[in-house]
Amino acid sequence: MRIEELSPEYGSTKKRKRIGRGPGSGHGRTATKGHKGQKARSGGTKGPSFEGGQTPLQRRLPKRGFKNAPFKKEYAAVNLADLAKHMDKFSDVDAITPEVLIKKKIVKKAKDGIKVLGKGDLGKALIIKAHAFSASAASKISAAGGKAEVITSE
């Protein structure tokens, strides 16, 4: 048996219906669309959201909420517990900055900035510079004798 001798199993294939190709084809004249009416005309069907003239669902439902997607800021979060755990890595720096956090591999990417969150406690006074601080983080840093400095992007 050679490749050119292969053919599909009998009955497994079917010729496609060629509509509108004259009376001899059996699908001429109305081209299987029936007689007259909206669906017989070109471009005659309505869209999937059309509900027969009834106000469509997307217009019946009220609009809710607000999406600030194009201006959304996504911060890389760092907890005080993470800083306390890696305290030995900060012995050679005077202030903890986003660059230091990335260099010491505590944060993978800075994204739109670094935000320090208040989970955990800081045992030592540190100067931390970040783009944002939670209220609890700022109060815990100042309670430990440190300083929380906000970096403004200009």
Q: What is the pLDDT of residue 131?
A: 93
Q: In which region does residue 32 sit, left (phi positive, over 0), alpha (psi from -120 to 50) or beta (all else)?
A: left
Q: What is the pLDDT of residue 23?
A: 92
Q: What is the pLDDT of residue 88?
A: 83
Give the Cα separation of 79 and 107 in Å (integer). Answer: 11
Domain chopping of the chain, boundaries: 73-150
- Nearest residue to 99 via CA among 113, 116, 86: 113
pLDDT tens digits in sequence order for the chain, 154 residues long = 899 999 999 999 999 999 999 999 999 999 999 999 988 999 888 888 899 999 999 999 998 888 888 899 999 999 999 988 888 888 888 888 999 899 888 899 988 999 999 998 888 888 999 999 999 999 999 999 989 999 986 5
Q: What is the pLDDT of residue 67?
A: 86
Q: What is the pLDDT of residue 154?
A: 55
Q: What is the pLDDT of residue 45?
A: 87
Span 73-150 CATH architecture: Ribosomal Protein L15; Chain: K; domain 2 (3.100)
Q: Report pTM.
A: 0.55
120 close to 84: Cβ distance less than 8 angstroms: yes
